[in-house]
Structure 1
């Protein structure tokens, strides 16, 4: 039974007894029993949270939002406000049961945002999606598949390049301030520099109250200073320094201090921040880029590591039962833990409806929504285009040797391997194109992420079924994925073997779906199916999901564990 909120009013002497009963002016046995049934269902935990929307929806479209009153009730709290509401999704707009994009406000003029924390582990936000999940009778695939990919992200090894002077990658940084000097000590692999020329680079950022000259030098213990430049830093300015020196044998026994960069500001360097200290063998300048030590960690700090979260709710629009939905977090800067004021925080989604260049088979993108589009920030700049096009060109046009040698320096290859494996296992449609997002926190190192995974586990975008456990998944059409599979087969197979003991175990896969589906009572499912022409309710069952997951994962053992 789905409980519908009762509305009461004073008895109207000008209306008939029947009219007063219909309008809530008379207490009837049917209404009171309905209330008792609702109380009983709530007390035994059978009721889901409810969302009530009221207002004129006649002009609402995917492009036109309309203000509606918003009420959320979960038995413990009631949240009331206004939502600026429009349809959400692409293909989902074709269905009679719509998705809705909600932007919550405290007032009906939409001037004061209402940020809500629906779950303790969620961030407060005012933007959410009400997902109808029309094609999935179980309402489970999108959120459960996102949760499983979140698990992959958390237990994934990050192979960001680390120090190895011999092949020209980065050094760690230890900063110690002494009066007017800041010493950036090169700690590891010191001896490998001895007797060789070295390239050194770093950044310096001045605070708003600092204007002065910075002299930067290379020092070796028991070896004369080797000065290579003086630069004036303006108020709030930033500069990138680079140069080469000869690192001669010093004879000093303490390797931790054997080689260091000294930065002399002339005054105590409290107004300066030094970062991205790079030391490499050889006199050739390294291609400049921000040090990728922060290239991936902001993703780990995001609410769900870049994946949507949600929970089932029942929705009523203008008093009419609209059935079962999920209230989901939205695809925005908060999802990825990004700062839209930071020009290096970029999130790109695939908008290619033709499923061609969206497979990363191009060197350039317009980023105008015809091929790719921005999630973060709002507006495209030439710099953003240049950075994303550099990523595209490397994926699409680099030689096999260059791809193999440079991929880990530019792309989170382990994230891509997880996408390759999970999209193959779950048979995620659109995973080769429209369900992929590419993000970067430093403008250089790109992390692929999966999004919108409802058309999966045998389900098509129409809610019908398109194959069996041994079918070929679409993910191989994506050029990045196909190149990774060809260049790093050992890593792909090793990750599969590892995941089969953890996230990809039959028990974990099935348990994640069981846990979600058991939140929803059979009566609630039946009520939703009676309201809409939900596809494949007789086939799209938990038993089917369980069967295809177990068969699929065992089938892929023969593919990835050969």
Structure 2
């Protein structure tokens, strides 16, 4: 006897459109939701008190694309990022839960991996909201050439036994798109909804002690001539170290992890000092293609804040005596002409000089290990630059296309409101000399890219 089906239920969305919910709908109990990447601007409506640097108030949030509701959640929110704590327009992190089940709510946006928290970047020093996502997208495009992967095949295959290796969209950096944010019914501002750079996006198994993922934290002596690693200049993201904090004496509490990190950093520092022959030893320590592509990205984008800060350093086979390490970009908002300590035309594309050599630029972090690679592997860098120019990954046309995709998510009317709420002369958490409205424009970034490519073509002989 045929089973009688329960009729589907129907209802109305806020915009008046008819929607069919389906029979026996249980979506309010789902702890994982998937939504498409936006084709029109998103709006987040948050209800709750605004956090400060020491509070994490409760909130509820509803996500809309245009006027179409996507999903809602509850949870807490807090200030996100080190520099943001001193900024007027702060970054936020929303930690989401399903209001019915009380469980963490995982959100998968397009091909991104699922996230249980939502990061909203204010970019007080980069008001176009374009530079960070532009830079990492360019890197993903050219670093995946020619085989289509951002990492070795075996790092993807590591997960075959658990989920058949469906991690092909791991970003190995961050990605984002602009969103409009309201708090308690009032316009809070334009932000970039950005991925969280969690361990899965680096194919890291945090239970595996050989899966190392570390990040320098404004380290002043990251590349000094070290006899042992000062781990307090880094954050250890993988493996998971129970009870660990950045100030612990990790060499005593987690000696294997410390020794694996120490092996690479000491080698890289001695390459910088010239006490080790980098060309004879590199293959035992670092993936050369990884560091060359990172150098090319930093030179192209003028990423001066990424020499002793704002990169991820990882390995899947790190021990105290072996292991190959990889470099990945992170936090690329101070790029394309925004340079601490450099004002006016000094930081323009053809005036700012080398990022990874340090030729006297006063804004420069010490490029250390990157300088050693740049000087010793210049033929390989020039060959890779030529390859990426020939394929068109590095070109004004491609960069302008990426910029357009990002800018299309911003309603110009909302940018006017954002500037009204957060004027261009307010404190941003950066030195006052970086607050240069003439550099806060899409046209400036496009022209910077064109002139920077021309300058690098001259230097590398393309």
TM bin, normalised by shorter chain, reads 0.7 to 0.9
Write the mapping of 1:10-409 to structure 2, written as runs, cut at 5 A: 48-57=41-50, 60-62=51-53, 64-74=55-65, 75-107=67-99, 111-117=102-108, 119-155=109-145, 294=154, 301=167, 303-352=169-218, 355-359=219-223, 361-367=225-231, 370-379=232-241, 381-397=254-270, 402-409=277-284
1:543 maps to 443
Contact map agreement 1:154 1:305 (CA 8 A) in 2? no
How far the C-alpha of 1:392 sits from its partner, in A, is 1.0
Partner SS for 1:93: helix
Q: Which has the larger radius of gyration?
A: 1
Question: CA–CA distance in 1 between the matches of 2:167 and 2:283?
Answer: 22
Q: Where does structure 2 lack aligned partners over 5 or more consecutive residues?
A: 1-14, 17-37, 159-164, 242-249, 358-365, 425-434
Question: In structure 2, do the counterparts of structure 1 residues 493 and 538 end up closer, same or farther at CA, with 3 Å as the change threshold?
Answer: closer
Which shifted more, 456-465 or 326-335? 456-465
> In the TM superposition, what is the alpha-carbon distance from 1:297 to its structure 2 partner?
7.0
Tell me which residue corresponds to 1:494.
Answer: 383
> Distance between the aligned counterparts of 1:156 and 1:541, measured in 2?
33
Question: Kindly tell me: are residues 121 and 334 of structure 1, through their superposed partners in 2, closer, same or farther at Cα, counting changes over 3 Å?
Answer: same
- RMSD in angstroms over aligned alpha carbons? 2.9
Specify the alignment match of 1:504 in structure 2: 394
Distance in 1 between residues matched to 2:193 and 2:201, nearest whole Å: 15
How far off is 1:366 after superposition?
A: 3.7
Q: Could you tell me how far apart the structure 1 residues matched to 2:95 and 2:343 are?
A: 32
- C-alpha change, 1:80 and 1:360, in structure 2 (3 Å) is farther
Is the contact between residue 228 and residue 266 of structure 2 (CA under 8 Å) also seen in structure 1? Answer: yes
Shift of 1:326: 1.2
- Which of 471-480 and 517-526 deviates more? 471-480
- State the distance in 2 between where 1:346 and 1:539 align: 37
**How big is the shift at 1:409?**
2.8
Structure 1 gaps of 5+ residues are 1-34, 37-44, 159-291
Whole-Å Cα distance in 2 between the matches of residues 65 and 137 of structure 1?
26
SS at match of 2:222: helix
Q: Which residue of 1 aligns with 2:403?
A: 513
Residue 488 of structure 1 and its aligned partner are, at CA, apart by: 1.6
* Contact kept? 1:423, 1:473, Cα under 8 Å: no
Q: Distance in 2 between matches of 1:419 and 1:87?
A: 29
When the two structures are aligned, how many residues end up with a matched partner?
Answer: 380
- Post-superposition shift, 1:463? 11
SS of corresponding position for 1:116: strand
Change (3 A) 1:312 1:364: same
8 A Cα contact 1:310 1:329, kept in partner: yes
Query: For 1:79, what is the secondary structure of its paired residue?
Result: strand
Shift of the alpha carbon at 1:305? 3.1
Which residue of structure 2 aligns with residue 410 of structure 1? 285
Alpha-carbon distance, 1:378 to partner: 3.5
State whether residues 360 and 395 of structure 1, in contact with CA within 8 Å, keep that contact through their aligned partners in structure 2: no
Contact (CA 8 Å) 2:338, 2:439: kept in 1 or not?
Answer: no
* Secondary structure of 1:102's aligned partner: strand
Which stretch has the larger CA shift, 507-516 or 444-453?
507-516
Contact 1:469 1:552 in 2 (8 A): yes
Q: Aligned equivalents of 1:440 and 1:129: distance in 2?
A: 25
- What TM-score comes out, normalization by structure 1 length? 0.62
Give me the whole-angstrom Cα distance separating, in 2, the residues matched to 1:84 and 1:483: 45
